[in-house]
Amino acid sequence: MNRPFSDLNKVIYSDDDTVVKVPYYINEHGYRSDSFNKDNEVLILGCSQTYGSGLPNEFTWSDIFCKTINKKYSRIAYAGDSINGQVYKAFNYFKEIGNPKIVLALFPLYRLEYPAIPKEFIHPHGSLNVSGKSSADELAWAVPAMAYFNYDIAQFSKAPHDPAYVIPKEFTLFYNFMFIKMLEQYCESNNIKFIWSIYDEFDKINEYLEDNDKEVLKNFLRTSDIIQIWESNLESRRSLLDESIENKLLMFAADFNKKTGMGHWGVMTNRQIAEKFLKRYKEIFND
């Protein structure tokens, strides 16, 4: 996902999108977002699902949410990113651009950003660094992300290690929730409304929190039930699609692969997620 300077501030297309040709407008910092501005009231965090891989922007949950409440937004969601990677970028956004009034986040659970150490600690996919301009270099900076976890492989891993083989999931959970807590505390101290969610394995969160501080869930919004529905009967629901662009993308994004079952959420799931965030937003602001 390296972003060359030639891609900045223009519309690009992805080879992964096979159902329809989806335009991605990339701003001057390398993100799929309007230009970052201190007057943008909403900051959106997440991974490729929130970036909107395979979907025209008007069908993404963050765009639906912000248009509904008529507020401008900045989105720093990035494909393959993690909780700690996005929180790191959020703090750079606060420093470089300013504080928004609302932060919304939809994170993957089992990913962790880490530095590659030559000959000792590596990632098979290399760097995900994004090109930026001057002070925007830090704002757009990222390192590889990984998904967890197979305990058996740890017995056989040898240097140079892939961290996914040797770092236990408890380590990932601890640091990811620590980053969420730091972001939460910053938002509280600066009068920023914060709503966050994790779209996979809610039961694992409860398992982790049994012996930990449940206060970390006070701004949490459950969306995993929506995703569980999306993940069921993937093949059978493909037959529901017709020739209009919206209906072609109703269940699955344009990058969905029928053979592998891999791809991103379609229009319906994004709408349902937006509705959940909107309901919580109205509860907070009593609109």
Give the span between the Cα atoms of 276 and 274, in whole angstroms. Answer: 5
DSSP state of 217: G
| Count of the separate structural domains present in the chain | 1
- Scanning the structure block, which residue is given the tokens 């997620």? 273
CATH of the domain at 136: 3.40.50.1110
Q: Which residue in 174, 192, 208, 194 sits closest to 277, CA to CA?
A: 194
Q: What is the pTM of this model?
A: 0.83
Q: Is residue 147 a contact partner of residue 125, using CB atoms and an 8 Å limit? A: no
Q: How confident is the prediction along the chain (287 residues), in pLDDT tens digits per residue?
A: 456 777 888 899 999 999 899 999 999 998 999 999 999 999 999 999 999 999 999 999 999 999 999 999 999 998 888 898 899 899 999 999 999 999 999 998 877 776 655 666 555 444 434 333 333 333 333 344 444 445 565 566 677 766 666 777 777 778 888 999 999 999 999 999 999 998 876 666 666 665 555 666 788 898 888 877 776 655 555 555 455 666 789 888 999 887 777 889 999 999 999 999 999 999 998 75
- pLDDT in the model for residue 266: 93
pLDDT tens digits, one per residue of 153-192: 556 667 776 666 677 777 777 888 899 999 999 999 999 9
Q: Which residues constitute the domain of residue 97?
A: 5-285
- pLDDT in the model for residue 68: 97
- pLDDT in the model for residue 228: 72
Q: Is residue 238 a contact partner of residue 252, using CB atoms and an 8 Å limit? A: yes
Give the span between the Cα atoms of 259 and 206, in whole angstroms. Answer: 33
180: its two tokens: 């969420």
DSSP state of 117: B
- pLDDT in the model for residue 233: 53
Give the span between the Cα atoms of 250 and 244, in whole angstroms. Answer: 10
